[in-house]
Amino acid sequence: MKKNKIVLYFNEKEEKVMKVLWNENKPLSATEIALCIDTEWAKKSIQNIIRKLEEKGAIEIAEITKIGKTYGRLFKPAISAEDYIMMQLNRYRTMDSDLSFIISALLNKTDISKDFSKELKDLLSKYTGK
């Protein structure tokens, strides 16, 4: 995956599209993405969302292939989910705020599993380099 120097922020719909691409881990057409999201808005606005994500540099065309009787584009993420998460954490860091409020909010959840706790510790280790 490419390392982006810019900080990206996705709105709710863009994030849903990105989650589909990250989870499927293979290039998908706009129609396939919309089917994975399976909401009415997805079918109506998927092309606009994809265009915005391309403009942001978050996704790229993986290939152009025959889909049915026509040719279509297959998309893949240009940024990993992990890099996006780190960008969001760094947004707060560059605002001179303390990351402790993020950690506190996560730890105050009552349903945190041991797996989630370990993932959080791993993320913090990666983030802090310790």
Asked whether the whole model's pTM tops 0.75, one would answer no
State the pLDDT at residue 53.
Answer: 96
Q: Which residue has the tokens 């881990």?
A: 25
Which of the given ranges, 40-44, 45-49, 66-70, has the highest pLDDT on average? 45-49
Q: Give the chain's mean pLDDT.
A: 80
67 C-beta neighbours (distance < 10 Å), count: 14
Q: Phi-psi region for residue 96, left (φ > 0), alpha (ψ -120 to 50) or beta?
A: left
State the pLDDT at residue 4.
Answer: 43
Report whether 127 contacts 86 (CB < 8 A): yes
Q: Is the pLDDT of residue 113 over 90?
A: no
| Mean per-residue pLDDT, 111-123 | 70
Q: Is 55 or 96 the better-scoring residue by pLDDT?
A: 55
State the pLDDT at residue 50.
Answer: 96
| Mean per-residue pLDDT, 102-111 | 59
Q: What tokens appear for 81 in the block?
A: 């989910």
Taking the C-alpha atoms of residue 83 and residue 53, their distance in angstroms, rounded to an integer, is 15
Q: Considering only CA atoms, which of 56, 55, 73 is closest in space to residue 64?
A: 73
State the pLDDT at residue 112.
Answer: 60
- Helices of type H across the chain: 12-24, 30-37, 40-56, 81-94, 100-107, 114-128
Domains, the chain, in order of start with CATH, read: 1-97 (1.10.10.10), 98-130 (no CATH)
Read off the pLDDT band of 1 (50, 70, 90).
very low
